[in-house]
Structures are given as structure tokens and as C-alpha cells.
Structure 1
């Protein structure tokens, strides 16, 4: 045996013995760890289940809200459809009727304010500074000497778009019987001045004047065809009468 081997043996024999491993203690520790892990996992699963339950409840609430929203939208669509198909047309009809009523009322007021007036056409203007009432009176006395006794509130000429056109005369009568008499005998007299017929017509609101102007060529065609046609004012309406019966344009 060498010197080194003897030394090694002495060293190993001098080390103390290691205590044996306690298997029972290790198993107890492992069991405790597993129990704690199981409890922790159960706690985590319970928390997750609770959260999932809450999420499901929230989803159910959202679905209920969506269902309510869809129901509300359907009701809103029905309301919009009702407004579009029933309410709006009804309001439009009522508004149209109201506008027509207001226009008729305005027309009646305007017609009333002009009822004492007559318009005279094709009476030449003597000068820029003429006495228009005197000019009109001279024309009227040619067909009826009683025209000297007529009382006027106002007589003047109306402007025209053309500078060469004869300006019509507008006369406001103080007495309606004088107005009616003049309108009657001027229409019968067939008085002409400078080759043009003197015409007297009621002073109508603009809308009625335009309608009368539109009806004139139609009336003339009816006269040319042998019919006894006249344009007359009936309330706020201007119409053609044939043999004292209102003429229908669509006939």
C-alpha cells in the first residue's frame, strides 16, 4: 500500500456518518403542498365561475336590451310610416285647404275694396296734364247725357309697360248705381274712338284679371262659332257664360 492510499483511507474513516432521510416527513410536506394547491385551484375556479356567471348575466342583459331596442326601432319605423303615409298627407291637405281659404279671403277683401271701380280702355290721353275726370265724362256723355251727374271719388290713369300704349283710366264711383249704369250702357253703345272700341270692365284683383285675360280668346272663339258667350264675375270666380249658363272648358 502506498503512502497516498493509506492517507485517503484515514480521511474517509474520519468523516461523520450522514443521518438517514425521513420519508414520512417528506410525504407530509408534499401532501400539504398538494392540499394547498388544490384549495388554491378550487378558489380560482370558483372565482372564474363567478366571473363567467356575471358575464353570462351581462350578455343576457345586453340581449334583452337589444331585443327592447329592436322592438323600439320597429315601433319607431311604424310611427315613421304612419307619419309619412297618414299624418304628413293629412297636414298637407289641411295646409292646402287653409292656404286656399286665406287666398279666397284675401281675394274677397281685395275685390270688395275695388267693387266701386271701373277700368276704361282705349280712351286717348289728351295731354300729359289732362283733366282725366273731364276726359272720361266727355266720353260718357256721348252715349248718355246723364253722365254729367255722375259723382266720382277719384279718376286717374294707370301706368303701362309700353310708353306708346294708351294708359287705361280707373274711376272710383261714389254710387254703385252709377257704376252699374255706366258699365251697362258702355257695353251696349259700341262706342269707338280713333278706330278702337271703348271698353269698360270691373276693376278686379290681379289674379282675376289674369284669368279674365286668359278667357277672352276662348270667349271670342265661342262667339265666332255662333254662341252667345260672355265673361262674367261670380263671387271670386271669373267664368264664361253661354246663354246664361256657365261654360265648362272640359266639355
Structure 2
């Protein structure tokens, strides 16, 4: 067994040695020669040219990048402006919110004002109605006063009434100054002084007649009083007297112009037509 195992090992080793030698004989190694100098120079020249071309391209790239830098600067500026605009927008939003709140408050206030205005309008209507009613009542009162005074006459500048009986003074003046017959038989409802007593003044006397015919006799007799200083006139309410006082200048002017002017109550008639001058509306 031992002799059989060692034989193949020897044979294998010989076979390898033969194969290696055979290879060396068939393919001998040749030494590598150094490259020639001319080819090296060409390689360097080509490399330099390539580098020059690369440098030119880099310059072109840099030239193209300069506008990009300017664009970047502009973009930075635009970014700053956009930031500024955003801040302004935020401020505007805040302002708008405040304005909306103010408008909401103003709207509520406006609604309240409208409500108050409607109440004021309602009050104005009520006041107009009350004013109309008051005017109507005043007209009715004036009419009633006119009716109650239609039986009365005013006597002016009758002296002696402060110390004596007014009725007797009136009867005496009707007899002596107006030349009325049976003046002592005139019947009066009442006779009294009008207004407050003042120094150096003669208050008018109000005489209310019981009989209309006696009143007409006295009222139609003033032509006998010329030069006596005594005056006789109808009694009117204060409002009517004030209106007549305003109309007197126009009444005298129209009479002097030959027009048929007549005062009736608080109205002036000219040639049968109601006078409607500016003093009528004063």
C-alpha cells in the first residue's frame, strides 16, 4: 500500500516541471522599451491644448454665470421687496380688521341713530299735529273773545276815572262830547279801566253795552269828538290788536291813495278784496 501511494506524487511533480519549461521555450519574455521623446512631447502638447480649451470653456461658463449673479442680486432685492410687501399686507390686514370693527360699531351706531331719527320724526309729526291743534284752539279762543267783545267799546283819554265811577264818566262824556240824547239811560253790563296804572298815563275804559242799538249810537258819533282828544274804538283780543297794528300803516297809505280800504277784525280789505301784503305774514 505504501509503494502505490508515493508513485503518483512523483509523476505529478514531473509533469508540472515539464509544462513550465515548455511555456518558457514557446513564449520567451521580451523587455519593454521606453517611449520615444517625440511622442511624449506630443502628449504634453495635446494635454496643454486640452487644458487651454478647458480654460476657455471655464471662462465662457464664468461669463455666463455673471448674469446669474446679477439675477441672484435682483432676486435678493425682490425677496426683500416681497418681505416688505408681506409686512405691509399684514399691516393692511390689521388695519382692515380694525376698520371692519369700526364699521360694525358705526353700523350699530347708525342703526341707533336711524331709530332715534325715526322717533324724532314721529315726535315732529306729533308736534306738528299739536301745533295745528293749538292753532285751531287759538283761532277758536280768538273767535270766542271776538264774540264776547263785540258788545264792548274802548274809550281813550277819559280823565277822572281813577277817582270817580267809570260808568258815570262814560255817560257824561257821551252826553257832553258826543251830544247823544238820553245818554244817561244807556245801560251797561260793566264798565272798568283796562291795564295797569302808570304815572302820567290815562288808562282806557272798557264799556260793555247791554243793548246793541246803544253801542251803534255811540260808535257812529265819533265825528263830534274832533279836537277833543277823546277816542272811541272797538275792543279786540291781543292777537287781533297786534295784527291790526301791523296793518294800520298800509290802511292809511291805501286810503291816502284813494283806495277803498277797510279794517275788519285782523283783516284788511281793499276795494272789496282781502289784502295779502308782507305784513300779513310777519
Task: Show the counterpart of 1:63.
Answer: none
State the Cα distance separating 1:119 from its structure 2 match. 0.6
Matched, 1:100 2:135: yes
Matched, 1:139 2:167: no
State the Cα distance separating 1:100 from its structure 2 match. 0.9
Higher relative contact order (CA 8 A, sep 6+): 1
State the Cα distance separating 1:146 from its structure 2 match. 4.6
1:117-140 CA-partner distances (Å, limit 9, x unpaired):
1111133x1474223222222332
Q: Report the Cα distance in structure 2 between the residues aligned to 1:78 and 1:135, rounded to whole angstroms.
A: 68
State the Cα distance separating 1:231 from its structure 2 match. 1.7
- Greater gyration radius: 2
Task: Show the counterpart of 1:243.
Answer: 271
State the Cα distance separating 1:76 from its structure 2 match. 5.3
Q: Report the Cα distance in structure 1 between the residues aligned to 2:273 and 2:179, rounded to whole angstroms.
A: 29
State the Cα distance separating 1:165 from its structure 2 match. 2.6
Q: Report the Cα distance in structure 2 between the residues aligned to 1:214 and 1:161, rounded to whole angstroms.
A: 26
Instruction: Specify which structure has the higher proportion of strand.
Output: 1
Task: Show the counterpart of 2:124.
Answer: 89
Deviates more, 1:207-216 or 1:155-164: 155-164
TM-score between the two structures when normalised by the length of structure 2? 0.51
1:91-133 CA-partner distances (Å, limit 9, x unpaired):
222121121122223323333333321111133x147422322
TM-score between the two structures when normalised by the length of structure 1? 0.57
Matched, 1:119 2:151: no
Q: Report the Cα distance in structure 2 between the residues aligned to 1:127 and 1:94, rounded to whole angstroms.
A: 47
Matched, 1:176 2:212: yes
Q: Report the Cα distance in structure 2 between the residues aligned to 1:162 and 1:223, rounded to whole angstroms.
A: 34
Shift of the 181–81 alpha-carbon distance from structure 1 to 2, 3 Å rule, reads same
Task: Show the counterpart of 2:253.
Answer: 221
Identify the match of residue 186 of structure 2 among 133, 150, 156: 150
Structure 2 gap segments, 5+ residues each: 1-104
Structure 1 gap segments, 5+ residues each: 1-68
Instruction: Specify which structure has the higher proportion of helix.
Output: 2
Q: Report the Cα distance in structure 1 between the residues aligned to 2:246 and 2:199, rounded to whole angstroms.
A: 24
Equivalent pairs, count: 174
Query: 1:222 touches 1:228 (CA, 8 Å); kept in 2?
Result: yes
